[in-house]
Chain A
């Protein structure tokens, strides 16, 4: 792989690129979908590709493709150099320089990702469905139960001396349970688990969680419209934390598109909220020794003691801002240019157990699900209004289920209104890769009946 990347770099400089970087990947993937006790689909596939960034002076272009034979590689390299000619000059554009610091060696694979036979992973998905059906008679079925896993190999090389390679595996299982209440109304509930290999997944827990979430919603009505305290379940908290991580990217800030612009050092959150981006967390699904342009990953304190400590930088935004990269260049595989993004966002845990968090809330709403995040949030202003469902909180305890309402605030106000973080965190694949406990928010607008 690294040889392939190096040959692509050579091909790009040979056709006139002053600098070049190549990103090569090879992956094998497997997915099983089951429904009604039967396998609905079984997918086994391989995927490979190459993306080349070529600089001509301070202009940069990109090309990618799937033909990794010699001529194919040369064609991709030539297209990248050709694309660069369409770009404007940008004084900060240039390849990352190696820091001299070696990338850490990390164990990111689990052998069961490949050694488990197709029948074994199918059985795992079937076990998820069975667990959902068995855990409550009101569960009438699941939309489907899914197992998906992939094993990836990544190599990056550049004319500036970057050269690195790593392997990682990841998998998940999920199901959406359907529960029927009196009168035939249907409710849904999601259960999921993530790991590096199927051997570490807990199918029973996934099924039980989906069933519990679906049945909890039976008989849900609309809550009264009001301004009140809100407890966010970790899956919901993760979605919001992911949005906040996104607007802490230096590109959004530098281009005047972040509500957190010019707020470094300022108090932006309640003391209860501690937020790190950690690309090296051994448990983190998004961990890797180096980022999408070969810069060594690290742990970056974003919010501590209520104050905003730093933004996240890739090489380009770091040069533009006169600082060092935080190793935050993300990449959607070989098909995408590197851009600033979070790795694993980690929210610090607090002292309160879940019941204590509810007691602290007193009267309010416990939100277990949100919908419409991609349309209901303005990332430039941070203003949001999204669909939600969950449970009412009365007298410090969970009460009746509620749905078809919206919660609204803006990301800056919401962050400032975090009163407490729960004591137990969970890894959630929504909003990127986030580890977070439930969060108690002092005030949000709830619009229902």
Chain B
């Protein structure tokens, strides 16, 4: 399929440059989706979406002029181009004729979600509900959500460049509430990918079991300790630590405004020799992967830390131009209604040589943070915080009591320097990252990682 004829794109881009500008870009998108939930044993909130629209931006020196419109009708696109060009007062330029774009999926979609009847999607939710309720009498509430989305995009710029992508994502999430007397705890698990229905249809019960296990374990949890101590971070979603403590500070917009603790530090040794990390937007079928970014640049595997040294920032085209670098394929946007920003894709620590058992056994007293509810960072200072959704005490080299209410708090470069072991049990997980009011799917991953010392904020002093 072709979203938009190149002739229309060229006409709109020429109009956008009618009052000057270095270059212009038209981003056209069709977004469709379906979601349904189960809560309190009832299937509810089935909903479908179809949104079509386009945005145009004109870049003139350091300034970007931007606008978006619903629909792809030629008169609307031309009116949008006129409106975006209003702020400029320079000589007109012409846009080159771009080639035609026929967006195609880059990864295998074995079973197209939109072809799967709603009953099968609902059946996944019921299977999760049944499994979670069967995990223990203390499970009192289960909710599950299935969501699928498809984004077909076509990107044209005034230099005659054109690219497209056909992206399908699916995700299944389960939340379990367990209760014992006055004590109420929750457990959560998700699975998803840039893939078809097959990604979630196989063994959905595993998600429910895992979410129920977390909620039930938390019923026995003691208040989290407070203070500085060694922390062993779990594999998979534990990679959110890298995402927050390092990744956001490597996004070139923050770096160029000197609003990142990592500004001017490429080449510096920031971590031990055995620490290597990547941002990889090409991992087949991963949640944060796309064939091209939202500026049409092919995604790539970028080494961000190699042998403990900081090796690269993450660029979109505007920041790459400013920084005299090449785009690393990290120009991403939530939708046609948003400007691209430098954003991570799938960010992970390369697996190390240790085993998770080594990391625990080598810790006399500390915290085992298995999974996080999420995190947040202020890139300018490097200060970050993570809520631990599943955590345990480590006592005498052994995992003991579950803890609740723990938060990890620290500073990016300090935490990176304090990593003293990385394990080999690599795993990727799905996340949603928010920045500048835009949410994009990101992958986070790692094997178990130990941080020699970190501040744990708990409810126990």
> Contacting chain A: which of B147-155, B160-168, B406-414, B420-428?
B406-414
Per-position contact with A for B60-73: 1 when CB-CB < 8 Å, else 0?
00111111111100
Bound-complex Cα distance A385 to B49 (A): 37
Task: Give, as a whole number of angstroms, the nearest-CB distance from A268 to chain B.
Answer: 15
**Set of chain A residues within 8 Å of B90, measured between Cβ atoms:** none
- Asked whether, in the complex, the Cβ of A42 is within 8 Å of the Cβ of B65, the reply is yes
In chain B, positions 32-67 with a C-beta closer than 8 Å to chain A are 34, 36, 39-40, 42-53, 55, 62-67
- Asked whether, in the complex, the Cβ of A404 is within 8 Å of the Cβ of B458, the reply is no
State the majority secondary structure of interface residues on A. Answer: strand
| Candidates B46, B177, B385; contact of A256 at CB < 8 Å | B177
In the complex, whether A84 has a CB less than 8 A from a CB of chain B is: yes
In the complex, whether B224 has a CB less than 8 A from a CB of chain A is: yes
Task: Give, as a whole number of angstroms, the nearest-CB distance from A388 to chain B.
Answer: 9
Q: Which one of A43, A67, A409 has the highest number of Cβ atoms from chain B below 10 Å of its Cβ?
A: A43
Task: Give, as a whole number of angstroms, the nearest-CB distance from B215 to chain A.
Answer: 10
- Size class of B's contact patch? 35 or more
**Set of chain B residues within 8 Å of A377, measured between Cβ atoms:** 387
Bound-complex Cα distance A76 to B48 (A): 9
Per-position contact with B for A435-449: 1 when CB-CB < 8 Å, else 0?
000000000010111
- Asked whether, in the complex, the Cβ of A186 is within 8 Å of the Cβ of B380, the reply is yes
- Asked whether, in the complex, the Cβ of A371 is within 8 Å of the Cβ of B385, the reply is yes
Q: Which one of B43, B385, B458 has the highest number of Cβ atoms from chain A below 10 Å of its Cβ?
A: B385
Bound-complex Cα distance A409 to B224 (A): 12
Q: Contacts A64-B49, A383-B459, A387-B383 given; indicate if A44 touches B405 (C-beta within 8 A).
A: no
In the complex, whether B104 has a CB less than 8 A from a CB of chain A is: no
Q: Contacts A385-B459, A445-B459 given; indicate if A337 touches B50 (C-beta within 8 A).
A: no
Bound-complex Cα distance A381 to B181 (A): 13
- Asked whether, in the complex, the Cβ of B461 is within 8 Å of the Cβ of A447, the reply is yes
| Candidates A83, A227, A372; contact of B46 at CB < 8 Å | A83
Bound-complex Cα distance A143 to B387 (A): 26
> Contacting chain B: which of A86-94, A152-160, A295-303, A345-353?
A86-94
**Set of chain B residues within 8 Å of A38, measured between Cβ atoms:** 62-63
Bound-complex Cα distance A255 to B46 (A): 19
**Set of chain B residues within 8 Å of A7, measured between Cβ atoms:** none
**Set of chain B residues within 8 Å of A84, measured between Cβ atoms:** 46
Q: Contacts A44-B67, A225-B227 given; indicate if A383 touches B405 (C-beta within 8 A).
A: yes
In the complex, whether A426 has a CB less than 8 A from a CB of chain B is: no
Per-position contact with B for A402-438: 1 when CB-CB < 8 Å, else 0?
0111111110000000000000000000000000000
Task: Give, as a whole number of angstroms, the nearest-CB distance from A68 to chain B.
Answer: 8
**Set of chain B residues within 8 Å of A79, measured between Cβ atoms:** 48, 50
- Asked whether, in the complex, the Cβ of B459 is within 8 Å of the Cβ of A188, the reply is no
In the complex, whether A118 has a CB less than 8 A from a CB of chain B is: yes
Bound-complex Cα distance A44 to B224 (A): 48
In the complex, whether A138 has a CB less than 8 A from a CB of chain B is: no
Q: Contacts A380-B186, A408-B459 given; indicate if A386 touches B407 (C-beta within 8 A).
A: yes
- Asked whether, in the complex, the Cβ of B51 is within 8 Å of the Cβ of A445, the reply is no
| Candidates A65, A118, A372; contact of B407 at CB < 8 Å | A372
Bound-complex Cα distance A337 to B44 (A): 11
| Candidates A65, A403, A445; contact of B226 at CB < 8 Å | A445
- Asked whether, in the complex, the Cβ of A40 is within 8 Å of the Cβ of B63, the reply is yes
Bound-complex Cα distance A80 to B34 (A): 11
**Set of chain A residues within 8 Å of B460, measured between Cβ atoms:** 445
Q: Contacts A380-B186, A386-B407, A404-B411 given; indicate if A87 touches B46 (C-beta within 8 A).
A: yes
- Asked whether, in the complex, the Cβ of A63 is within 8 Å of the Cβ of B226, the reply is no
- Asked whether, in the complex, the Cβ of B375 is within 8 Å of the Cβ of A255, the reply is no
> Contacting chain A: which of B20-28, B105-113, B256-264, B272-280?
B256-264
For the A-B complex with A45-B337, A178-B258, A387-B385 known, give 15 more contacts whose Cβ atoms are closer than 8 Å: A62-B48, A64-B47, A66-B53, A67-B50, A86-B46, A87-B44, A141-B259, A176-B380, A186-B380, A372-B407, A385-B457, A386-B387, A406-B385, A406-B457, A448-B455
Residues of chain A at the chain B interface (Cβ within 8 Å): 35, 38-49, 60-68, 75-76, 79-80, 82-88, 90, 118-119, 140-141, 143-144, 176, 178, 185-188, 222, 225-227, 255-257, 259, 335, 337, 371-372, 374-378, 380-381, 383-387, 389, 403-410, 445, 447-449
A-B contact pairs, 15 of them (CB 8 A): A40-B63, A47-B337, A63-B50, A64-B49, A75-B50, A87-B45, A88-B42, A90-B42, A188-B381, A257-B141, A257-B177, A376-B407, A378-B405, A404-B410, A447-B461
